[in-house]
Amino acid sequence: MSTGRLIIDLDAVVANWRNLDAMTGCKTAAVVKADAYGLGAANVAKALFKAGVRQFFVAVAEEAAVIREELGPRPEINVFSGHMKGDTDLIRDLRLTPMINSVDQLTRHLETLPDHPFGIQLDTGMNRLGMEISEWAAVAEVALAQRPTLVMSHLACADEPDHPMNAYQLAQFRKMTDGITVPRSLAATGGILLGPDYHFDLTRPGIGLYGGLPYADAQPVIELDLPVVQIRDVAEGEVVGYGNSWQAERPSRIATVSGGYADGIIRMLSDRATLYAGEIPCKLVGRVSMDLLTIDVTDVEGDPAKLTLIGPQQGVDDLARAAMTIGYEILTQLGARYARKTFGK
C-alpha cells in the first residue's frame, strides 16, 4: 500500500461523548462540522445517533446533507451560520434548524419559512457570530413569540479555565436570557469542563469527542501510519531534501515515507516532527514536501515498513505543539488520500 493508513475508532468517539454527557445534568448534542473534524461526518453521526445523540450541529447548511442522508428525518440538525441568503430551499428540504445570528437573518427566516423551526445565537463578547445585546433587545419579543428551539452563545476562552472572559460571558448570557422559557446553551467541550454554571439546558461538545484538548482525559480516536517507500544510506556531510535544509552529522539511514502537505502534514513540521517505529522515536529531517517525508531511522534495527505519526506514542495535540498550532487544525487538515479504516459502532 502506497498511501498512509488512517484508523478511526468510533467506539472512542462514543465513549468520549458519553463521558462528557455524564459530567452534566442536561442534554448533550454533538458538533460534527467540518466533516466531523475531518473524520467522516456520516460514520461519526451514525455511531453517535446509536449512542443516543438526537441533536447535531454543523457550520453551514451544506454540511448537513450527508447526515440527513445517513440518519433520515429523526435527528435535529442545527446550523451555526444561520439562515444565509440562498439557503432557504436547503433549510426547508433538509429540515434544518438555523441558529439566527442577526436581525437580517431573523427577517429572512420569518418571511421565507414562517412556520419552520429556528434557534437564536447571541454574541456575549466574542464578536464573531450572533446578535449583540442591543440587537437582541430590539427583536427578542418578536423572536421569542415564534418559539425558537434554542438560544445559544459561544465561549471565547473556555480552554483557559481561569480566564476572566468566561465569567464575563456567563454574566452577559444570563443578562440576555434569564427569565425566558426557551432552552439555552452556552457550553462546548471547554464549557462543559468549567462546571454546572455553564451547562444550562444543552451542551455542544466538539473537539472533545475527537480526542482533543481541552478534554485531557479523552480517549484517543485516530492512528495515522505512513508507509516507507525507500530507505537509503546517507554519509556524514550529505544533505537531504529541498533546499539542502538538513545535513547529516553522522552516517545515517533515511527513510522516505509516503505523506506530505497534500495529506495535511503541514510544512511547519519540517525538521520538527517525530515519527515512531514502534516505541523508537525517529526525527523528521529536512522539509515536508507535497507527497513525501524524510525520516532518520538510523537507530531502528532492520527496515521498518511503516512509521507512525499519530498513535499511542504521540497524540493529536502532541503533534500540534510541534507544529505550533492546535489539534483542531491537525484533525481537520487530514487529507483525502489516506486509506481510511473505520471501526466501532
Residue corresponding to grid cell 463521558: 19
Asked if 33 is an active-site residue, the reply is yes
Closest C-alpha among 307, 270, 306 to residue 288? 270
Question: Pick the catalytic residue: 27, 33, 328, 338?
Answer: 33
The Cα 229–Cα 22 span in angstroms is 45
Rounded Cα–Cα distance for residues 158 and 149 (Å): 24
37 is catalytic: no
Instruction: Sort residue 340 into left (φ over 0), alpha (ψ -120 to 50) or beta.
Output: beta
| Active-site residue (options: 46, 168, 198, 242) | 242
Beta pairing, strands 96-100 & 274-277:
unpaired
Catalytic residue ranges: 33, 242
